[in-house]
Chain A
Amino acid sequence: MGAELLIPNRSQADDSRRLTGTLAASRAAEKTPAGSWAAETRRYLRVFLTFARNSLIRDMTFRADFLFHCISSVAWTLMNVGFYLLVFRFTMMIGPDTGWGRDEFFLFLATVWFINSLVQAFFIPNANEFSELIRTGGLDFALLKPIDTQFLISFRRVEWSSLSNFAVGLLIAGISLHGLATRAESPVYLTPLTLSLYLFFVGCGVAIMYSLMISLAATSVWLGRNQSLYDFWFYITNFSRYPMEIYNTPWGRPLLGLFTFVIPVLVVVNVPARILARPLNPRADWEWQLAVWAVIATGLCLIASRWVFRQSLKSYRSASS
């Protein structure tokens, strides 16, 4: 440290030359247009990749934690598999005449795990951190950056270990698809069309879950950090984990309506899973209507979450230290 005091004696001309060089370069840099749409997309993509890379570097410095998190989340999933295998010892189907037999239902579960692992890997850590940033005033830095704030906040962290459940989902989906395609009675095959529709609607599902979560996280601007809100999210999304037919009872219909049209968590898994598993053969008209609604609901949710996010930024007070 002592050496630092001596530095002012160093050739100032040297410093000066180097800094002027930088100045010229920075002016030149400003001339390059960042405006074109393709260039902007590339910039956003590169930022996202850097986030993903940095998160991975971070995870690798705490390797034991990483590994343990992978193992324990896979263990939870396998326990769930065990539970549903147990259930199918007693019944052929979930709900009478719904078509959710064992293979169909496990394809449904695989979809649950796909969507959940994506949400957990990409969004839950960020939503948590968002509330924390609001509380501590750390959001300041995000607001300073010349990039969309919601983008910056939503993709900062990737929790790679949560994707281990994605792998389990793939395995189970593979087994179920094989079972569906090889059964004697009306086999269901995977086609390029159903697969691409499936991927599209899984994307919609993730978007709906994301919108819900970021909106809830944004409310911490007004409510402060509120643990019950997160519990609320968990309990609400819990409704999306089963085929929607199970709510089709006199008691359940209000819930069915609420979670399809007001907080559309029921379309998240149901729509893509139905496309791939084809529980009803031939497909019913309402299934197509539901798919169209899922697209509309995705759009509405994204718009609503964007609106809530913007409102929350307006009320942000930037706690100092």
Chain B
Amino acid sequence: MGDPHSATFASEPLPPVGIGDRVRTWWVIIRTALAERMAYRGDFALGTLMRFLPIITQIFLWGAIFDAVQTADQGGADSSLRIGGYNFPEMVAYFLLTMVARAFSSMPGLATGIANQVRQGEIKKYLIQPIDLVGFLLLTRIAHKLAYYTVAIGPFALVFFLCRGYFTDGLPPAHVLIAFVGSLVMGFLIGFFLEAAIGMISFWTLEINSLLLIFMLFSFFLSGHMFPLTLLPDSIGWLVNLLPLKYLAFFPAAIFLRKIPDEELAGELILEAAWLAFFIIACRWMYARGVRRYSGYGG
């Protein structure tokens, strides 16, 4: 990482690290992550497939709910019934799409990893060497995600192929697809900086596990992973809609299913970008403050 001589000749200013060097470093990180994933790809693909199992029960549950409402209404025609703005096929498609969104936005082990590094003093490494902690973590995360997608794309493709009947409207038009991809990428970044910021709290208190559990609890229910957020009654719905958690699951799925009117799409994406900027700044700021506090200790 970086220049091996930097520690020895720290008194002389070194030439800035060239972009070529940096790309080479990234490439090494990405290759290592890929190799790691590939070694256990069998286990891993199977694990990914199994992760769809809970969705099956969700689909059956919603099937029973739609059936019950239709039977009770008598008059309701087959697929016109909507709950929270979603008819049954859309509901199924919604759950499948949130799986995709979560594949981008979930960051297993990120906050606890930072907390462990702070606790065990490994964080010093980043203060001495010319690497930036946040940048390094982001790169490794990207590498891991890329490796994950190369393996997980198989199971995902299989499940989406089997369930293609639920996507009644087929593929959305190009501008929606672009917005969808954009929201996925931003979802990834928001997920990253949000959880990294939580990890930074460990500069102030070492016990962040409880905090993290509470965050996971809220993110599980209020990101839309469990149900479309439009189901919420207005009294809570407006508040949840203001929270950035929806970008982790609900928002990309809603874009794909065209639940966000075209004229609002650009505005919503700008809002998401603003949230992203906020979390980047928050994370950076906390890191800077945290490091200052940490060195103040003489840790």
Contact = CB atoms under 8 A, between A and B. Distances in A.
Answer yes or no: do A and B interact: yes
Nearest to B232: A86
Interface in B184-227: 210, 213-214, 217, 220-221, 226-227
Nearest to A68: B210
Q: Which of A87, A90, A94, A255 has the largest number of chain B CB atoms within 10 A?
A: A90
Interface string A240-254: 011101110100100
B124 to A, nearest CB: 28
A242 B57 contact: yes
Given A68-B210, A231-B50, A90 B65 contact: yes
B71 A246 contact: no
Q: Which of A98, A241, A246 has the largest number of chain B CB atoms within 10 A?
A: A246
B60 A238 contact: no
Nearest to A93: B68
Q: Which of B60, B231, B232 has the largest number of chain A CB atoms within 10 A?
A: B60
Q: Is the interface of A mostly helix, strand, loop or mixed?
A: helix
Contact of B65 (A68, A72, A91): A91
A96 interface: yes
A75 interface: yes
B64 A82 contact: no
A230 to B, nearest CB: 11
A37 to B, nearest CB: 44
Contacts of B232: 86
Given A75-B214, A94-B64, A82 B43 contact: no
A94 B67 CA distance: 8
B84 interface: yes
A228 B43 contact: yes
Contacts of B227: 83, 86-87
Nearest to A83: B226
Interface string B119-153: 00000000000000000000000000000000000
A138 interface: no
A235 B217 contact: no
B264 to A, nearest CB: 25
B46 interface: yes
Given A72-B214, A79-B221, A228-B46, A96 B68 contact: yes
Contacts of A75: 214, 217
A92 interface: yes
Nearest to B82: A90
What class of interface size applies to chain B in its complex with A?
Answer: 20 to 34
B54 interface: yes
Contacts of B83: 90
A112 to B, nearest CB: 12
B63 interface: yes
A11 to B, nearest CB: 53
A97 interface: yes
A219 to B, nearest CB: 15
Contacts of B220: 79
Nearest to A239: B57
Contacts of B67: 95-96
B63 A249 contact: yes
A228 B47 contact: yes
A89 interface: yes
A90 B47 contact: no
Given A72-B217, A75-B217, A246-B63, A92 B47 contact: no
A315 B28 CA distance: 43
A232 to B, nearest CB: 7
Nearest to A235: B53
B281 interface: no
B67 to A, nearest CB: 5
Contact of A231 (B47, B60, B63, B213): B47
B221 A72 contact: no
A261 interface: no
A76 interface: yes
Interface string A205-245: 00000000000000000000000100110011011011101
A249 B47 contact: no
Given A72-B217, A228-B46, 13 more contacts: A68-B210, A72-B213, A75-B214, A83-B221, A83-B226, A92-B68, A96-B71, A97-B71, A98-B64, A232-B50, A235-B54, A241-B57, A255-B56
Interface of A: 68, 72, 75-76, 79, 82-83, 86-87, 89-98, 228, 231-232, 235-236, 238-239, 241-243, 245-247, 249, 252, 255
28 contacts: A75-B217, A76-B217, A79-B221, A83-B226, A86-B231, A86-B232, A87-B65, A90-B83, A90-B84, A90-B231, A92-B72, A94-B61, A94-B68, A96-B64, A96-B68, A96-B70, A96-B71, A228-B47, A235-B53, A236-B53, A239-B57, A242-B57, A242-B61, A245-B64, A246-B60, A246-B63, A246-B64, A249-B63
Pairs A-B, 7 closest by C-beta atoms: A96-B71, A95-B64, A246-B64, A235-B53, A93-B68, A246-B60, A96-B68
